Amino acid sequence: MDDDVTEYEAGKNVKLEDGNGGNGLTFGYSLGDRATASLTGSFTGKAGTKDGNIVLFTGNVDVGSVDFGQVTWGTTPLTLDSAVTYDFRDAKINTGSIVFTGLDGLSAGKNTMTLLDTNGRAVNLSAGNLSGESLPYTVGTTLEGQGQAYLEGGNVQYAIDLHDNTVKPQAQTHMTVIGQDAGLAAVMEGSDLVIRDLLTLKNREKGSFTFASALAGENRYETGSSLRTNGWNGHAGFGWKKDFGSRGVGETALFYDYGDGNYRTYDNGLYGHGDLRYRGAGLFGRFTTPDKVFVEGSVRTGRVDNKARHVLVDGAGNGYDYDTDSRYTAFHLGAGRTVDLNDRDSLEWYGRYFYTHVNGDDFEAGGRYHLDIVDSSLLRLGARWERKSSQNSAWYAGAAYEYEFGGEATGTADGRSIRSASIQGSSARLEAGMLWNRDNWTLQTGVHGYMGKHRGIGGTVDFTIHL
């Protein structure tokens, strides 16, 4: 028995048949690893046994198919056995499901590698065994493009041309920038809660106070795809309200800024979801003149954590999570006037500008991702009508128009620009609520809704103790 032979372990996938008319034994045959590259067919030839194994001496393999899975660029995934002859007369070589890794080092222009090294053992191998067309490939979760398999020197080669404009981010990468907009939207809701805090303090006496407030709601943004968020925001802090005599009344407060929630992303049949949390601190203030003209402002800063779950999937079906942790900064400026209509009713006109900034971040999730900074620049113009129902209570209703000038989230996947997501556009805002004042506390509850680019509904509770 020749020492230079190839041994194949007998197992459930090896089937012994008859002597094939004296031509040798016939076995089901496979070569390679299904995860990367595999060849299947049937072997006919001479064999013996050794230590419980079937030993093939010489023979032919009628190749049925060659399939490729996850392939590291530059590493030949399949080489034919030198002891066997492979007949490709009726074979099909499938390259349409290749998932490449290790493409970082590709250079501009045409890049080639060997997919199948025939080792000089192939017969009847021709271009007819290949599709002859450009076929799709994917790179982890990030890129996709069109490559082509071809024959050269008796081997199967594969070419990728980086000058070809078909190399682009996969559609699913868009989910990452929608998630960036989700973090921005969550922090923006905290600015709305500042306005509620100021409303609660509007008609109270001077002195120090402590307060806690919460806002909860469901929101939907049309980003070029779709983003839905569920969350709640909260403030807890203390402050002062002071009379400056003929100049007016001022109030200011320091507070802890926090929020929690989740989001869902949708885009052309693709779905994703994630969880959001932010923590920080803030300061707000307001000054009102004797004729009830007011100016106000706030600033907040902290960090927002975004945990995306199973948003990205590579060509092999592996799901990827990712986390980002970014600093946020937000401020608002506003001005308006309250006009008394009679002894019970008043109307407040206002204009407010809100700015929110969330830093970018980098992460690995089946490829290298970079998310750019994202900014919101929102202008709101509106009015609120308030009616006193008793000496210690009042209800209010209001409407506003707002326009988002920013809100575009961008990024890259393995260096290629991801399709952006944007919450830019017009919305209308409606609100209604009640205020209760007692000797040393104030309670405010309200509901609000949005229509337009931003759609949603939410509610607030704000409780203040006057010290």
Query: How is 264-283 classified by DSSP, letter by letter?
Result: EEEETTEEEEEEEEEEEEEE
CA distance 358 to 229: 17
Residues 6+ apart with CB under 8 A from 442: 200, 201, 204, 435, 436, 462, 463, 464, 466
**What is the mean pLDDT for each group of 10 consecutive residues in the chain (467 residues)?**
40 42 70 90 77 69 92 92 90 86 74 94 92 73 86 92 77 93 94 90 80 93 87 94 90 96 89 94 95 96 94 85 96 96 94 97 94 97 93 92 96 92 95 90 92 93 86
Q: Which residues pair with 371 in a beta bridge?
A: 361, 411
The pLDDT, as a whole number, for residue 8 is 44
Return d(Cα 29, Cα 159) in angstroms, integer. Answer: 29
**CB 324: neighbour CB atoms within 10 A?**
22
- pLDDT given at position 12: 38
pLDDT tens per residue, range 384-399: 999 998 888 899 999 9
Specify the pLDDT at position 11. 41
Torsional sign, CA 25, 26, 30, 31: positive
φ/ψ (deg, to 5) at 177? -80, -30
- So what's the pLDDT on residue 143? 87
pLDDT in the model for residue 45: 78
In the DSSP assignment, the letter for residue 20 is G
Query: How far, in Å, CA of 273 to CA of 191, rounded?
Result: 24
pTM across the whole model = 0.79
Q: What is the pLDDT of residue 47?
A: 66
Cα 164 from Cα 166, distance rounded (Å): 5
Residue at token pair 């493409």: 103
Centre a 10 Å sphere on the Cβ of residue 152 and count the other Cβ atoms it contains.
Answer: 10
pLDDT single digits (tens) 412-451: 998 889 999 999 999 999 999 999 988 888 899 999 999 9
Q: What token pair was written down for 234?
A: 């909260």
Give buried/exposed letters for 16-31 (b at 16+ CB in 10 A, else e).
Answer: eeeeeeeebbbbebbb
